[in-house]
Amino acid sequence: MQDLRLESKKKVLAIKDLPTLPQVLAEVSKLLEDPTVSTEKVAQVISKDQVLSAKVLKMVNSPIYGFPRRISTIQHALVLLGFNVIKGLIISTSVFDIMNQSMIGLWEHSLGCALASSTIAKKVKLKDPEEYAVAGLLHDLGKVIALVQLPELKAEVEELVKKEDIPYYVAEKKVMGFGHDRINAWLADYWHLPLRLREGLAWHHQVQSAQHYPEMAAVVHLADFITRLFEVGFAGDDNVSKLDARAFKILKLTPNLFEEILDELVDNFLELSDFKPED
């Protein structure tokens, strides 16, 4: 088992097959090393890639963020959301095609989790709810990478899910020795994502392990639970994930407030159906 784990990790980290992120991200990251750089300058670099810009603007104007007026420029999006959110949207739209091909319904599940994360963050009055939405959007990215890098193990994981009726991430651990949450942590480091996002991606199945930003892990954990409860998309198994009561404690979330969140999401999930960044 130890040998399989090491071999699988090596394959996952063989970066040559990972989705290549647009060159503009590297350019923008370099620009941001200068604390005096303007949002106008950053927006100009992103806008050079017109296809990418269009996808990002479509995501910004989706029901996930719920802005009352349309955002028509990257600069306006940067001012409202900040670079961390825009970077997350660039990553998500860059892997959209691979996500659609690797697991039917995973994109829809990810969108649902983003919307639920944003809604929860707003309800419990957390700062920058848009960043929580990005964590929800990217929380299953490790599944995509595992399917791209280790395609020979896909059938084995899926068969185990059906045979033993277990959650997808439990089957991943049995087959590979680690789950997509561990891959998320590697990706977050490789793509230099901020620590707050990394905590949500790495610990949404183990909220007690998030040492720096437990509220981020708790929000994504609850959002994943709710999205599965409402059967939005498909995340690899039909199980409603086990709800960790510690998430309620971390967020100081009362049963009444949780009920309000569920009621609000019933209608909002319907708005998300059939949304794709490339339409």
Alpha helices in 38-164 (DSSP H): 39-47, 50-60, 74-81, 83-94, 96-102, 106-123, 129-138, 141-149, 154-164
Cβ atoms within 10 A of the Cβ of 83, count? 17
Output the CA torsion 151→13→210→83 (10° steps): -100
The answer to whether 223 touches 117, Cβ cutoff 8 Å, is yes
Distance (Å, rounded) from C-alpha 128 to C-alpha 141?
Answer: 22
Tens place of pLDDT for every residue, the chain, 279 residues?
555 566 666 666 664 455 567 788 888 888 888 889 999 999 999 999 898 899 899 999 998 998 888 999 999 999 999 988 998 998 888 888 888 888 889 999 999 999 999 999 999 999 999 999 999 999 999 998 888 888 888 889 999 999 999 999 999 999 988 899 999 998 888 888 899 999 999 999 999 999 999 999 999 999 999 999 999 999 999 888 789 999 999 999 999 999 999 999 998 898 877 677 766
| Helices 195-203, 180-190: inter-axial angle, 10-degree rounding | 160
Helix and strand numbers (H, E) in the chain are 17, 0
The answer to whether 15 touches 190, Cβ cutoff 8 Å, is yes
CA distances from 160 to 58, 132, 182, 243, 254 (A): 37, 31, 19, 22, 36
Instruction: List, in order of start, the domains of the chain with CATH numbers.
Output: 2-18+103-272 (1.10.3210.10), 20-94 (no CATH)
Distance (Å, rounded) from C-alpha 68 to C-alpha 120?
Answer: 19
